[in-house]
Structure 1
Amino acid sequence: MHLTRSFAFSCLVATGLALPGIGGTKLQENKARSPGYALKEPPLTTPWTDKVGTNPWPEYPRPLLQRPEWKNLNGVWKYQDAESLDAVQQPPFGQELAQDVLIPSCLESGLSGIQSDWALYSWFSTSFEVSPSWNGEQVLLNFGAVDYEATVFVNGQNAGFHRGGYFRFVVDVTKYLKFDQPNELLVFVHDPTDDGDYVIPIGKQTLRPSHIFYTPCSGIWQSVWLEAAPSNHITQLDLDANMDGQVSITVHSSANETAEAEVTVHKDGETVATHKGPTNEQFQFTVSSPMLWSPDSPNLYNVTVKLGDDQVESYTGFRTISRGKVDGIERPLLNGEFIFMFGTLDQGYWPDGLYTPPSKEAMVYDLQMLKKLGFNMVRKHIKIETDLFYQACDELGLLVIQDMPSLRPLQSRRDANGNSVTILPNEQQQVEFARQLDVMVNQFKSFPSIVTWVVYNEGWGQITAYHPEFALTDRVRQLDPTRLVDSTSGWIDHGAGDFSDNHHYANPQCGSPFYSTPSSPYDASRIGFQGEFGGIGTNVSIENLWNDQAAINTIDQTYEIDTTIEAWNYRSHRLLNELEDQVRLYACSGGVWTQTTDVEGEVNGLMTYDRRVERVDVKQWQADIKALYDAAAARSKGAESS
């Protein structure tokens, strides 16, 4: 269909949170931008688009391991595409690349200044200087995330390689540096997405966007920074603090030998505990009478860790995630009590930046809106965010159900005759998926807000000839025994994990004696959960739509289209009431509403894709969500751990 500004289903009235810069969608000239870099106007903007400038994401990117000596390398770099994977064998050392690009950004986004298609092979370059005061230290080059494979060159030398589009990595560049002149940094990126027979973790990305699959993100899409550290330095902190005050910590170091680390816990400027223990192995100590972390009271404690001359700052929250029987029904427990987890399916997409939000302010805005409505959880859907996202959830008090980015959907390609072709990982690709699942858990398991890991979504990339989810679930529990595991969110469920997870649109079927295939019947031995439902939408006028005709043509694939905002809120109210019934009558322990915002050809968000139109009747939604919690509280008579 062709939409115009006078489209009959136009929805132009927003309520609730005030948006910055809401006066129109046209980009304003930003005088701070360099002459060579120019933002390309995307199919849709946000209120933050023209505020990004040329120094994006100035915040320290790794809040759980912060160092005082660091240098942000974000800003305008140089870029040019490459023809093939073989290009990495002939790096363009000492050459100026063809175009300016904003880092961090997705090459396919307007914010990048490139807005390319099929960015399979790419070169990025910049130069940097190193403070003479860092001479004698280890200089560490950090990347928040590069999609998908990155080869890093410093001053003409191959310094490192990394595979995996969602994970941070560090390259020790000390031996390649010059302290008396600029240093050349060159990065080659290969991002196949779903090209050919590649089967890699991609989430919702596709080279052929259509409805629920979106424009891909290629390149350096999270922050890049340098930091100085002693030769024996802290590389990672595995930190957990439970409801009984027990702190469990592993201080990983760059040296093989064991040394002594000192851990100090602070609250409101006061030291509450200090303990010493060996590096590279877990040790415990206790904080007496801690203030517990929960969505209602997101209490956090600062943590300082010293190892020789190295000192880093971190934080933690005291809470325990478990499962147990409450009045004979399996329930998720937070700090020993049944918590009804209710949140949105959160895709983490932005029309101006795609995977990269235009700013931290913009990213947090989405979370604040959810919190305002009364949601206590967010399901981060087959995408992994910057560490600052999880810090915001920790601070706001939002539980996080974290998905592993999925492999390709089961039927994601058509042959010459137009028939669907099933593409599943081969043995090597499955091993790589498992490795990256390990990386996800290890990198993010210290954030207090994360309560559940999801291995597979709706069977996407899930091998059915055997049941790999059992071994993967065991592996996740081994790496992180402090959280629950939703092995198969929706569809192909063989009984693994902690959840009996139903997906159904639009009505819920949560822990109930009825279900629709391909979801499975409720399994009373596990937690009854509505992993997805809702998905209803209203169409909007073109100024709030992703202005791409192929995407517009798929709007009618939305699960339900309501013709007015009033009808949309009425239907939402009825669906939430239905879920409330299932909480009162059956074994429903939580749910995920689809979704936080519209995305490209989907118009079923609480907000439009540009965040300028808010569909929700705030008071109605607040009352309906509170009714869910009240119904769950009425079913709580005492928990028995299992």
Structure 2
Amino acid sequence: MHLLRSVALSLLAGTSLAHPGGDSARLSAKQPRAAGYSLKEPPLTTPWTDKVGTDPWPEYPRPQLQRSQWQNLNGIWQYQNASGLTAVQNPPFGQELAQEVLIPSCLESGLSGIMGEFTLYSWFSTKFKVPSDWNGQNILINFGAVDYEATVFVNGKKAGFHRGGYFRFSLDVTKLLKSGQDNELLVFVHDPTDDGDYVIPIGKQTLHPSHIFYTPCSGIWQSVWIEPVPSNHVSRLDIDGNMEGQVNMTVHTSSVNTTSSVRVAVHDGDKVIATHRGPTNQPFQFKVDSPKLWSPDSPNLYNITVELGKDQVQSYTGFRTIEKGEVDGVVRPLLNGEFIFMFGTLDQGFWPDGIYTPPTKEAMVYDLQVLKKLGFNMVRKHIKVENELFYRACDEMGLLVIQDMPALRPLQSKTLSNCTSQTYLPDATQQEEFTRQLEVLINQHKSFPSIATWVIYNEGWGQITSYYPEFALTDLVRQLDPTRLIDSTTGWYDHGAGDFSDNHHYSDPQCGTPFYSTASSPYDDTRIGFQGEFGGLGNNVSIEHLWNNQAAIDSINQTYELDLTLEAWNYRSHILLNELQNQVRLFACSGGVWTQTTDVEGEVNGLITYDRRLSRVDEDQWKSDIQGLYDAAKARSNSTMST
């Protein structure tokens, strides 16, 4: 970790690196050409695999800060493996790289055209021209996400460095560009995942896939685009609309130390229903009269226009209030002042053809449509952060989101020199970096109306046990975003932080009950009783629907329970959902997370298979059982409420 940091810091100190050999090092006719791109056959495909083509993800990637002028850089780039971390000191400027690669994609995926393993160090390159009508403006290059560290060069000079595999970043490259000519974009990526002693946010990724831990994703896995902006431009929008119609807003700008005036307009269709002028870089509030509220049943959204000088951006919000309060003597989650029973699936966001990158937007939205059709009102995005169009889709559909922070290195140990085993946990520097990235997660996503809850730790993965860091982290999240609930420790080790008393128990639920298992904690009636994960019922399928990897297939029997037929699987699901309904009726259960939306590699416990071609659910039964949960919750509510 120290080597990684020292190299990164030394690079940040300079602004350019010389071309080895000057112009003679540039591409010549004698250099070998990159091997052409072709889709590689992954162990399993989806209905969208062959529809991706070479123009992937054409949609504007940042729906809450959208500009009309932009240029998508997705498509065929060049790639080659790098020898190690020090390779960044000798960039291959002006050179043809070894292979063509599809961007965005994970290098380990079939869609990338590489399908590599242990791709810890990588070079990526492409060329682009800036449209002539952008002259006189500043040019930003935007990356949706690069896993894990990216050092970016433009025309032979260093443009910037970014760390964190799940988060967007932008670089102003105006001074590095050539007008009317090709510009060379070169990116060095280091992605250690769980190599050596690295302890970084990786979620379920591992270099050694095994059962509940999966193929990693390295490289540029979300969209890349450029756009023109004035020198002083909007860099981030924080927007919260509550059930009273109050809009709380901060317009962050590139000129962070100055204050300007911005004009905000709220639109209901073609009609402007509110306008306001406020200052930049500090919070301000204004009121919208009698807005239609956002909820899973009525996901009403309002478009917002923000004008800062010559910079105009489009955004949106939904008016809703998420809080906790006491209903009939039980602490409950409240949406717009009423108890809402939050019920959804554990959604891991893995794809057999794209790993972390869904093949298309249509494919990504399909998973959410499956959930909405069955009656789920929530989805738990499990230790992964999706591209921003995922959250826009949840906003539009009316699916609440429980958003996890990607876990630090989970459930792995190293053997010390004295032959004892030690679990990988973050040191002080790694914990500081985890905290920084948690802050980035909140700030980049806190304006999506659908997000209802933040999760800090999952099942103790990366959670330091010598002290209780979740308390300080909960305070930090509350400070950054006081408008949502916080599930500080879903599963265990729960010491009382946050808004939820959250139990994981697969064989049967234990949600807000007077009984619990040793792996979890007793229900705490000062917080919301919640079943953070349960179900996990498996049903094996024929090879055409399985991740065709022998190690994954051999791990299927590690599933919590295997049901030999679909009839048995649906019967067992009905039993568990009825048991949860009884706990809603009798005890203090306020929501639950069924495991899971889809199969993933060696796990066969999804509502649908990993290839998205086979559904296990008896739709009528599931719709009835899910509605039964909501009916039981409603029967427990009355008008006596305090918040």
Tell me the distance in 2 between the aligned counterparts of 1:412 and 1:183. Answer: 46
Tell me the distance in 1 between the aligned counterparts of 2:52 and 2:353. Answer: 10
Q: Which residue of 2 aligns with 1:139?
A: 139
- 1:522 and 2:498 matched: no
Q: Which residue of 1 aligns with 2:541?
A: 540
Q: Aligned AA for 2:576? A: L
- After TM superposition, give the deviation of residue 414 of structure 1 in Å: 6.0
Q: Aligned AA for 2:460? A: G
Q: Aligned AA for 2:225? A: W
CA contact (8 A) 1:410 1:424 kept: no
Q: Which residue of 2 aligns with 1:41?
A: 41
Tell me the distance in 2 between the aligned counterparts of 1:425 and 1:218. Answer: 21
Q: Aligned AA for 1:208? A: H
Question: For 1:202, what is the secondary structure of its paired residue?
Answer: coil
- After TM superposition, give the deviation of residue 418 of structure 1 in Å: 9.6
- After TM superposition, give the deviation of residue 214 of structure 1 in Å: 0.3
Q: Which residue of 2 aligns with 1:513?
A: 514
Please give the per-residue CA displacement for 1:493-515, whole angstroms capped at 9, x wherever unaligned. 00000000000012100000111
CA contact (8 A) 1:336 1:639 kept: no
- After TM superposition, give the deviation of residue 257 of structure 1 in Å: 1.0
Tell me the distance in 1 between the aligned counterparts of 2:89 and 2:43. Answer: 36
- After TM superposition, give the deviation of residue 135 of structure 1 in Å: 1.4
Tell me the distance in 1 between the aligned counterparts of 2:515 and 2:283. Answer: 46
- After TM superposition, give the deviation of residue 620 of structure 1 in Å: 0.3
- After TM superposition, give the deviation of residue 417 of structure 1 in Å: 11
Question: For 1:333, what is the secondary structure of its paired residue?
Answer: strand
Change (3 A) 1:412 1:75: farther
- 1:151 and 2:154 matched: no
Tell me the distance in 1 between the aligned counterparts of 2:433 and 2:639. Answer: 42
Q: Which residue of 2 aligns with 1:87?
A: 87
Q: Which residue of 2 aligns with 1:585?
A: 586
- After TM superposition, give the deviation of residue 419 of structure 1 in Å: 7.2
Q: Which residue of 2 aligns with 1:27?
A: none
Q: Aligned AA for 2:524? A: D
Q: Which residue of 2 aligns with 1:318?
A: 319
Tell me the distance in 2 between the aligned counterparts of 1:124 and 1:332. Answer: 46
Tell me the distance in 2 between the aligned counterparts of 1:416 and 1:133. Answer: 64
For structure 2, list consecutive stretches of 5 or more residues without a partner in the other structure.
1-33
* Identity within the alignment, %: 76
Q: Aligned AA for 1:287? A: V
Tell me the distance in 2 between the aligned counterparts of 1:416 and 1:109. Answer: 37
Change (3 A) 1:414 1:355: farther
Question: For 1:193, what is the secondary structure of its paired residue?
Answer: coil
Tell me the distance in 1 between the aligned counterparts of 2:130 and 2:42. Answer: 36
Q: Which residue of 1 aligns with 2:431?
A: 430
Q: Which residue of 2 aligns with 1:165?
A: 165
Tell me the distance in 1 between the aligned counterparts of 2:71 and 2:174. Answer: 15
- After TM superposition, give the deviation of residue 638 of structure 1 in Å: 2.7
Q: Aligned AA for 2:578? A: N
Tell me the distance in 1 between the aligned counterparts of 2:123 and 2:303. Answer: 40
Matches within 5 A, 1:119-518: 119-255=119-255, 256-413=257-414, 421-518=422-519
Tell me the distance in 2 between the aligned counterparts of 1:551 and 1:109. Answer: 16
CA contact (8 A) 1:499 1:529 kept: yes
Please give the per-residue CA displacement for 1:351-374, whole angstroms capped at 9, x wherever unaligned. 000000000000000000000000
- After TM superposition, give the deviation of residue 84 of structure 1 in Å: 0.6
Tell me the distance in 2 between the aligned counterparts of 1:550 and 1:594. Answer: 22
- After TM superposition, give the deviation of residue 35 of structure 1 in Å: 8.7
Tell me the distance in 1 between the aligned counterparts of 2:177 and 2:536. Answer: 52
Tell me the distance in 1 between the aligned counterparts of 2:273 and 2:164. Answer: 39
- After TM superposition, give the deviation of residue 420 of structure 1 in Å: 5.1
- After TM superposition, give the deviation of residue 491 of structure 1 in Å: 1.3
CA contact (8 A) 2:35 2:99 kept: no
Tell me the distance in 2 between the aligned counterparts of 1:522 and 1:413. Answer: 34
Tell me the distance in 2 between the aligned counterparts of 1:502 and 1:408. Answer: 21
CA contact (8 A) 1:337 1:638 kept: no
Please give the per-residue CA displacement for 1:129-166, whole angstroms capped at 9, x wherever unaligned. 00111111010000000000000000000000000000
Q: Which residue of 2 aligns with 1:569?
A: 570
- After TM superposition, give the deviation of residue 69 of structure 1 in Å: 0.9
CA contact (8 A) 1:338 1:639 kept: no
Tell me the distance in 2 between the aligned counterparts of 1:119 and 1:519. Answer: 37
CA contact (8 A) 1:352 1:358 kept: yes
CA contact (8 A) 1:340 1:629 kept: yes
- After TM superposition, give the deviation of residue 412 of structure 1 in Å: 4.3
CA contact (8 A) 2:35 2:98 kept: no
Tell me the distance in 2 between the aligned counterparts of 1:480 and 1:639. Answer: 28
Q: Aligned AA for 2:465? A: T
Q: Aligned AA for 1:372? A: K
- After TM superposition, give the deviation of residue 421 of structure 1 in Å: 3.5
Q: Which residue of 2 aligns with 1:57?
A: 57
- After TM superposition, give the deviation of residue 99 of structure 1 in Å: 0.2
- 1:595 and 2:588 matched: no
- After TM superposition, give the deviation of residue 411 of structure 1 in Å: 3.2
Question: For 1:630, what is the secondary structure of its paired residue?
Answer: helix
Question: For 1:430, what is the secondary structure of its paired residue?
Answer: helix
CA contact (8 A) 1:146 1:167 kept: yes
Q: Aligned AA for 2:623? A: Q
Q: Aligned AA for 1:81? A: N
Change (3 A) 1:272 1:412: farther
Which structure is richer in relative contact order (CA contacts within 8 A, separation 6 or more)? 1
CA contact (8 A) 2:35 2:100 kept: no
Question: For 2:94, what is the secondary structure of its paired residue?
Answer: coil
Q: Aligned AA for 1:116? A: G
Q: Which residue of 2 aligns with 1:66?
A: 66
The TM-score with structure 1 as length reference comes to 0.94
Q: Which moved more, 1:419-428 or 1:617-626?
A: 419-428
Tell me the distance in 1 between the aligned counterparts of 2:638 and 2:101. Answer: 58
Please give the per-residue CA displacement for 1:189-227, whole angstroms capped at 9, x wherever unaligned. 000000000000000000010000000000000000000
- 1:611 and 2:623 matched: no
Question: For 2:136, what is the secondary structure of its paired residue?
Answer: coil
Question: For 1:50, what is the secondary structure of its paired residue?
Answer: helix
CA contact (8 A) 1:491 1:517 kept: no
Tell me the distance in 2 between the aligned counterparts of 1:65 and 1:105. Answer: 23
Q: Which residue of 1 aligns with 2:75?
A: 75
Question: For 1:92, what is the secondary structure of its paired residue?
Answer: coil
Change (3 A) 1:639 1:334: farther
- After TM superposition, give the deviation of residue 613 of structure 1 in Å: 0.5
- After TM superposition, give the deviation of residue 408 of structure 1 in Å: 1.0
- After TM superposition, give the deviation of residue 522 of structure 1 in Å: 0.3
Q: Aligned AA for 2:219? A: G
Q: Aligned AA for 2:558? A: Q
Change (3 A) 1:219 1:417: farther
RMSD: 1.2
Change (3 A) 1:137 1:562: same
Q: Aligned AA for 2:75? A: G
Q: Which residue of 1 aligns with 2:628?
A: 627
Q: Aligned AA for 1:632? A: A
Q: Which residue of 1 aligns with 2:17?
A: none
CA contact (8 A) 2:49 2:359 kept: yes
CA contact (8 A) 1:111 1:353 kept: yes
Tell me the distance in 1 between the aligned counterparts of 2:75 and 2:63. Answer: 21
- After TM superposition, give the deviation of residue 401 of structure 1 in Å: 0.1
CA contact (8 A) 2:177 2:183 kept: yes
CA contact (8 A) 1:253 1:279 kept: yes
- After TM superposition, give the deviation of residue 179 of structure 1 in Å: 1.1
- The alignment covers a number of residue pairs equal to 609
Tell me the distance in 2 between the aligned counterparts of 1:52 and 1:109. Answer: 13
Q: Aligned AA for 2:397? A: L
Please give the per-residue CA displacement for 1:313-352, whole angstroms capped at 9, x wherever unaligned. 0000000000000001000000000000000000000000
Q: Aligned AA for 1:386? A: N
Q: Aligned AA for 2:594? A: W
CA contact (8 A) 1:456 1:488 kept: yes
For structure 1, list consecutive stretches of 5 or more residues without a partner in the other structure.
1-33
CA contact (8 A) 1:130 1:179 kept: yes
- After TM superposition, give the deviation of residue 416 of structure 1 in Å: 9.7
Tell me the distance in 1 between the aligned counterparts of 2:175 and 2:40. Answer: 38
Q: Which residue of 1 aligns with 2:24?
A: none
Question: For 1:613, what is the secondary structure of its paired residue?
Answer: coil
Q: Aligned AA for 1:254? A: S
- After TM superposition, give the deviation of residue 97 of structure 1 in Å: 0.2
Question: For 1:125, what is the secondary structure of its paired residue?
Answer: strand
- After TM superposition, give the deviation of residue 83 of structure 1 in Å: 1.2
